[in-house]
Amino acid sequence: MAIQIFQVDAFTDTAFQGNPAAVCVLPAQRDDAWMRSVAQEMNLSETAFIVPQADGFSLRWFTPLTEVDLCGHATLASAHVLWESGVLKAGTAARFWTRSGLLTAVQTEDGIQLTFPVIEQTPADAPPGLLDALGTQAIYVGRAGNMYLLHLADESAVRQLTPDFPALRLLSLRGVMVTAAADPASPHDFVSRYFAPWVGIDEDPVTGSAHCCLGPYWSKVVGKNELTAYQASGRGGRLRLHIADDHVELIGRAVTVLTGKLLC
């Protein structure tokens, strides 16, 4: 049976910007090997698989190499597809059951609002070789599990990074967030980039899950709970953030750029 598949640009209101994700709405669960094969075929940073269930939807995310525990842009894309395709009525909240627990999405005037868990980071030393592979210096290093947050001197330091990806792959990490305060003339509070060659993504265009760590970090730095963020990849993407004690609200828009059918 043919399965409809969508490609959606997330955290943008303009096609061919933001972060592309593939979304499959399945009538029933498929095996892991099939989902990995579809993700490899799509060759995007994430492919999302949605299965209806009594209290919402099962949602899983795969990179071309592996399944991941949390993905913001593919969740945003999934909610967008459910409303746009009519699977969910407009105004109905989307409830996703995931490896990170229950995630919700609602429609607002400003876009789609995701409620995600806070990812805490603590001060740490940079792993040997990390700063050299990135070609930079950090004024602060934080660690969240097997991911690192690097606070750089300014926005230009973030934008001008040219990582040595073969050198990065020699390290045993999961992801690296580099960030800095936005330039004074910018409408944003901070900028960032995200590198994850260890899961098949040299640079992710816009990383919602990273902002579950970046948002709380910058909330403490600047002393406010409402933030605007720009991920300064080649495609670029914008997010609005609300930081609470135990969750982060990520707000962004999405655009469908392709629909098709899987025949296998």
Asked if 190 contacts 227 with a C-beta cutoff of 8 angstroms, the reply is: yes
Active site residue 46: yes
DSSP of 46-104, one letter per residue? Answer: EEEEEEEETTEEEEEEE-SS-EES--HHHHHHHHHHHHHHTSS-TTPPEEEEETTEEEE
Q: Write b or e for each residue in 183-215: b if 16 or more Cβ atoms lie within 10 A of its Cβ, otherwise e.
A: eeeeebbbbbbbbbbbbebebbbbbbbbbbbbb
Of 181, 174, 178, nearest to 224 (Cα)? Answer: 181
Backbone angles phi, psi at 190, to 5 degrees: -150, 160
Residues involved in catalysis: 46
